Structure 1
Amino acid sequence: MRLNPRQLPQSLNKGLAPIYIVSGDEPLLVQECCDSIRAAARNQGFNERELLHAEHNFDWGQLIASAGSMSLFAEKKLIEVRLPNGKPGDKGSKALQEFAQIGSDDLVLLLVLPKVDRSQLNSKWMKSLEQRGALIQVWPVDANEMPRWIHQRLRAEGLDAEPEAIQILAERVEGNLLAASQEIEKLKLLSNDNLITAATMNDAVASSARYDVFGLIDRALAGDAEAAVKTLHGLRAEGVEAPVVLWALAREIRSLLEIGEKLDQGQPLNRLVRIQKRQPLVQAAIARLPRRQLEALLLRARAVDNAIKGGRELNPWTGLLELTLNLSGKRSL
C-alpha cells in the first residue's frame, strides 16, 4: 500500500507492516516518518535495531544474514537500510526480493531512500516490497504551502499565530523545514501566551535561509532572477569566494551547451540529466537561452575570471551579477 506522511500514524496504530519504504528529499519529514515507525516498533516489542548503510560496494548478503540472526536478548528485530542513491543494483534488487519472501512476524524492514522515479516504482524489487508493506512518499513543501504547514505545526505544539507572523516565519526560513521546526521550538520557550504576534515573530526569528551555489544555479535556471540575485548577495555576505560562484556558473553554462547539442541529436533529456527534479529547470533554460547566447555567456565568464585574477578593471561581483541575471533570462545594464 501507499501512504502519505499524514496517514502513517493511523496506519501504525492499526499494527505494524513487515516492510516500510520511506522515500523523499525533505530530511525533516523523512526523519519524522522513520521516528514514528521506530517508536511503533519499540512499543510492539522490537527491541533490537540493526542499521545498514547500503553505499557503494555494500555487501547485500548482510541484509539476508541480518534477517537470520537474532540477539540473545531480543525476540523481535527492526532492520533499517539506508540507500543514499536510491538504486540497489542487481545484487541489491535480488536481496530485497528475497527479503520480501521471508514471512516472519519477528522482523520489520525499514528502507530509507531519496525520491524515487517512475522506473524505480515499477521495478521488481519495489513491487515485491510494496506488496508486503507500505511505501511512504515524502514530498517537499513548496512556497505556497509553507504558511499552512507552519500553522499546522504551531497548532500541533499548542501555539497559534497571527497570519502576518506566519508569513514572516515562512519568508525567513525560505523552505527550510528543519529551520522552521527549530524556530517553532524556540517560540514555545519565548511565548508568554499561546498566540504569536507579528512583533513577537519579528523579534524572535532569525534569518535561517541557506545560501549555496547550487541553490543559485537552480533559481537562475528556473528564470527566477529576483531569488537568484538574492542568493548571490547572500553568498557574498556569507564570505563565499567569487571563484567558487564563477566555477558553478561557468560549469552550468557549459553543461547547457552540451545538453542542447545532444538534444538536437535526438537524445532524451532524462538520459542527459539524471536528477529528475532538475530536468524541467534545464529544459526551461535551454528553451530560453539559444546556443549563441550561451556561448556569449561563456566569454563573459572568462572576462570575470580575468577580473578575479586582477587582469581587468571590473568588479568580479558585478560580473557575477550580470552572469546571474543573464542566465535567468534577464538583460543586464
Structure 2
Amino acid sequence: MKIRNDQLQQHLAQNTLAPIYIVSGDEPLIQQECCDLIRQKARDKGFNERILLQVDGNFDWETLQEHTNSLSLFSDKKIIEVRCQNNKFNEKASKILKACGESPILDNVLLLITPKLESATQQSKWFKALEKSGIFIPIWPIDAQHLPRWIKQRMQQAGLTATTQAIQLLTERVEGNLLAASQEIAKLTLYAENQHVTEETINACVADSARYSVFDLIENALAGSINHCLRIFNGLKAEGIEPAVMLWAITREVRTLLQLIQLQREGHSLEQAMQNQRIWEKRKPLIRQALKRNSEQSLEQILMSAGQVDEAIKGLSEDNIWSSLQFLLLKLVGVSVTQDFPQ
C-alpha cells in the first residue's frame, strides 16, 4: 500500500505496524523523520534489536537474507534497516527482496530506505511484492511554491506565530534546504519574543542557508527568472563553484536549444524534437519558454561569447570571468545586454 508521508503518523496511531516499510525520496529531513516514526513505533511494540545494513557497490544481498531468516540473539523481534546509496538493484537484490515481500516474517520489521525510485522500478516484481505486504512512502521535495506553507506549519508545531513577511524572508534564506529550515525554526523558539516571529527576528538570528546547484541556475535561466537566476549565480560564486563547471552547464543547454531549432527546420515538430533529444517531461515547459525568447542568432552569439569566457578561464585573456559568465546568463534569460562583452 502507498501512503503520503503526512499520513504516516495517522497510520501508526492506529496501533498497526506493517512488516515492511519502503521510504523513498531525495529530501533527507522528511525521510529521516518518517524513519524515526517507524523506529519509535517498532520499539513501542517490542522490536528492541536493530540491525543496520549499508548498501554500497560491494554489498552482498545474501546478508539481508541471513538476517531475515535467523533468530534474534537478544529478543524475539528486530528491525532490519537497509540503507541504499542508489536506486539500482541487481538480479540478486531483486530476488532476495522479492522473497522478503512474498514471505514476510512477523517478528521482523524490514525498513528499506532508498533515493527516489523511478516508475520502472516501482513496476518491478520485487517492488510490487514488498508493497503488497507493506507500506510504500514516497518522499516528494517541497517546491518553492509550497515551501512558505510548510514553514508556517512547522512554526505552528513549534508554538510560534509569524508575520507573512517573516515567513517569506525565512523561505528565501533557506530555500530548498528543509533541514536548515527546521534548525532555524528550533533556534527561533529561543529568540522570538513572546514566540512571535517578525522580519527583525529573522534578520537577527537566521543565517542564509540557501542550497543551490548549477542545475537550479540553468532551470531558472531557461524560465527567464532574472532575479532568482542572479541570486543563485551569486550564491554559487560565493560557495566557490568552478567557473568551468558553470560554463559547461550554460553551453550544454545552448547547444541543446540550437539542436532543437535545427530539428524543427528539418520538419520535426517541437515535441518530436524534444523527444529526439530525450528532454524530460518536467523540463519541456522551460525549453519552450527559452526558445520563445531566444532566436538561433542570439544562441549562436552566446556560444561565441562562451568561447571567449573559456579563453579567460584558461588564462589566455584578461576578461573578467564572473562578469562574462553573468553576461551569458543574462543573454540566455532574455535580457537585452547592450555592451558587446563585459570586461
Using the TM superposition, give the Cα deviation of residue 8 of structure 1 relative to its aligned residue in structure 2, in angstroms: 0.3
Deviates more, 1:46-55 or 1:72-81: 46-55
Give the Cα separation in 2 of the matches to 1:53 and 1:277.
Answer: 33
Which amino acid is the alignment partner of residue 76 of structure 2?
Answer: E
- The CA RMSD measured in Å over matched residues stands at 2.9
CA distance in structure 2 between the partners assigned to 1:121 and 1:285 by the alignment = 32
Q: Which residue of 1 aligns with 2:341?
A: none
Kindly, what percent of the aligned residue pairs are identical? 47
**Map 1:1-333 → 2, pairs under 5 A:** 1-14=1-14, 15-254=16-255, 269=275, 272=278, 279-280=283-284, 283-284=287-288, 287-288=291-292, 294-333=299-338
Verify the 8 A CA contact 2:176 2:212 in the aligned structure 1: no
- TM-score norm. by structure 1 comes to 0.87
Task: Describe the shift of the 1:174–1:40 C-alpha distance in structure 2 as closer, same or farther (beyond 3 A).
Answer: same
In structure 2, give the amino acid aligned to 1:323. L
Q: CA deviation at 1:326?
A: 2.8
Gaps of at least 5 residues in structure 1 are none
Q: TM-score, normalised by structure 2?
A: 0.85
Distance 1:229 1:37, change over 3 A: same
Could you list the per-position Cα deviations for residues 13-53 of structure 1 after superposition, in whole angstroms to 9, with x for gaps in the alignment? Answer: 22110111112221111111111111111111111222223
C-alpha displacement of 1:219: 2.4
Q: How many equivalent pairs are there?
A: 331
> Do the aligned partners of 1:270 and 1:279 also contact (CA within 8 Å) in 2?
no
Maintained 8 Å contact 2:42/2:79 = yes
Is 2:331–2:337's contact at 8 Å kept on the other side of the alignment?
yes
Measure the CA separation in 1 of the matches of 2:131 and 2:212. Answer: 37
* Counterpart residue identity of residue 102, structure 2: Q
TM superposition shift of 1:141: 1.4
* Mapped partners of 2:255, 2:55: distance in 1: 33
Deviates more, 1:149-158 or 1:237-246: 237-246
- Greater shift, 115-124 or 252-261, is seen at 252-261
Q: 1:3 is paired with a residue of what secondary structure? A: coil
Contact 2:53 2:81 in 1 (8 A): yes
Following superposition, the deviation at residue 224 of structure 1 comes to 2.5
| CA distance in structure 2 between the aligned counterparts of 1:99 and 1:3, rounded to whole angstroms | 20
Q: CA deviation at 1:281?
A: 6.8
In 1, Cα distance between equivalents of 2:244 and 2:94: 42
* Matched AA of 1:185: A
Residue-by-residue CA offset, 1:119-144 (whole Å, 9 max, x unaligned)? 22222222111111111121111222
Task: Give yes or no for contact 1:259–1:272 (8 Å, CA) kept in 2.
Answer: no
Q: Is the 8 A contact 1:16 1:41 kept in 2?
A: yes
Measure the CA separation in 2 of the matches of 1:53 and 1:260.
46
In 1, Cα distance between the equivalents of 2:2 and 2:277?
28
Question: For residues 123 and 285 of structure 1, do their structure 2 counterparts lie closer, same or farther at Cα, with a shift above 3 Å needed?
Answer: farther
2:197 partner letter: I
